[in-house]
Amino acid sequence: MKDKLSFVLLLLPLIFVLSCSQGDVGPTGPTGEDAAVLQFQSGNYPSDAYTGVTDCYLEGGWAADTNYGTIDYFFIGRYKSGMHNGKERALLKFDLSELQNQHIKIKKADIILYCYMLSPSSTTITVTPYEINKYWEETEATWNSSETGTNWNTAGGDYSTTPVGNSLYIDKSGEYKIFSINPSIVQKWIDNPQNNFGLIFISDTENINEDRWAGFYSTDNSTVSYRPKLVIYYTLN
């Protein structure tokens, strides 16, 4: 994969490598200085060999020790049904280690998620991304634990409380949602891959004691274009 990435990085800054399939969304590029583009999406970009996206969601309450890292969706908000009554938060990480030492300067970054459902259908929520600051394992992380045998310092995930992207108001499903991420965060993922623990997405409604959540497709979804995508705009130093 490194050879393919290196080839892409040698393209002239004015050439964009976005080749969206039907249904994809294209975020607006940065203004001012011209920038080239790279996308990261499991099984698709930069090549179909890329498998560097990991995700899962955490559910508090009755399911606080249940892992949801192998299903094709994740929930954000609060799920209240039957025995379930807990906050739900999504963890998402893109491995960008192949870009280290490639002299990339990030100008803009977007994460694109496909929202397939709101519950109830008339609900509205606001979702905000924060930076995770502890290692977690996709197939082991739960509300209580970051991996088997290791608890979070604080149940529900250890994260910096300063948002690292825009808070997105969601009132409609069946469409892509674009989160603009602070370029310095993505730059850190590239320059110091060992400190890349990804993001956690939290809803403003999680403390309301009612069923109110948004469902998004995960990187395990069989439809590649629905999987989480990172789009970075960069120049070469």
Q: Are strands 104-119 and 199-203 parallel, antiparallel or unpaired?
A: unpaired
User: H/E element holding 7?
Assistant: helix 2-9
Please, are residues 8 and 46 in contact by the beta-carbon 8 Å criterion? yes
Mean per-residue pLDDT, 38-46: 98
**Average pLDDT of every residue of the chain:** 90
- pLDDT > 70: percent of the chain: 86
Domains: count for the chain: 1
Residue 202: which domain range? 2-236
Mean per-residue pLDDT, 30-34: 60
Mean per-residue pLDDT, 223-235: 98
User: H/E element holding 215?
Assistant: strand 212-217
Concatenated DSSP letters for 139-192? TT--SSEEETTEE-SSTT--B-SS-SB--EEE---SEEEEEEE-HHHHHHHHH-
Mean per-residue pLDDT, 215-219: 99
Question: Could you give the CA distance from residue 190 to residue 237 in angstroms, rounded to a whole number?
Answer: 14
Token readout for 30 is 């940065």
Quote the pLDDT of residue 26.
Answer: 62
Mean per-residue pLDDT, 168-176: 98
pLDDT at 196 over 80: yes
Question: Could you give the CA distance from residue 13 to residue 197 in angstroms, rounded to a whole number?
Answer: 29
Residue-wise pLDDT for 58-92, tens only, equals: 999 999 999 999 999 999 999 998 889 999 999 99
pLDDT at 4 over 60: no
Question: Could you give the CA distance from residue 156 to residue 28 in angstroms, rounded to a whole number?
Answer: 33
Judged by DSSP in three states, 4 sits in helix
Mean per-residue pLDDT, 219-230: 98
